[in-house]
Amino acid sequence: MGYRAAARRIGVNQDPVKKLARRFTLHGKLCLVKKPTKQQFSFDVKKEVVDRFNAGQSKMDLAREFGLSSDQLVTSWVRAWRTGGDQALRPKPKGRPKGSSPSKVITEEDRLRREVEKLQAENAYLKKLRDLRNQRRG
C-alpha cells in the first residue's frame, strides 16, 4: 500500500504517513513505542554528516549511523550549510544578547524627558494631596 492509499484509509494527510514510514524504516518497531527526544548535536557531528552527504552517502545511512531521529535532520543541516556555511551549523546562543535591553538604547535626551514627566506627575499628585487636606480643614 502506498503513502496516499494508507493516508486515505486512516483519514489523515499524506505527510505524517510518509514521516512515520521513514522513521519505521530507520528505527523499526521502536518508533511506534518510544517518542524520540530532542537531542542536540555538536558542530563536529553536523559537519561530518553534511560532508559525508555531499560525498554521496544516503540520508538514511547517515541517520542510522549517527543515531538521528529522522533522515530529515540531514536535509535540514545540508540546507542550512548551503545557505549559511559552517556558521549555520554552530549552536546559537540562548536568550537575548548582552547589552540589547531597551534601557541601554535610550538616549540621554529620552532619559531626561522621562525624568521631567515623572517629576511633573509627582508634583501634580502632591498638589492634589495638599488640596484634599486643605478641604478637610476648612
pLDDT digits 0-9 by tens, 65-77? 888 878 888 999 9
Q: Which residues of the chain have pLDDT under 70?
A: 30-37, 99-105, 138
Q: Full-prediction pTM beyond 0.85? A: no
Phi–psi pair at 127, nearest 5 degrees: -65, -45
Q: Could you give the CA distance from residue 25 to residue 3 in angstroms, rounded to a whole number?
A: 14
Q: How many CB atoms lie within 10 A of CB 45?
A: 16
- The answer to whether the CB of 97 falls within 8 A of the CB of 69 is no
Contact (CB, 8 A) for 68 and 74:
yes
pLDDT tens-digit readout, 5-32? 888 888 888 888 888 888 888 877 766 6
| The predicted structure's pLDDT at residue 93 | 81
- Strand locations in the chain (E): none
Grid cell digits, residue 109: 535626551
Q: Give the three-state DSSP class for 75.
A: helix
Long-range CB pairs of 95-104, under 8 A, 24+ apart, other chains included:
none
pLDDT in the model for residue 63: 87
Identity at 82, one-letter amino acid code: R
Average pLDDT, the chain: 85
DSSP secondary structure letter of residue 82? H
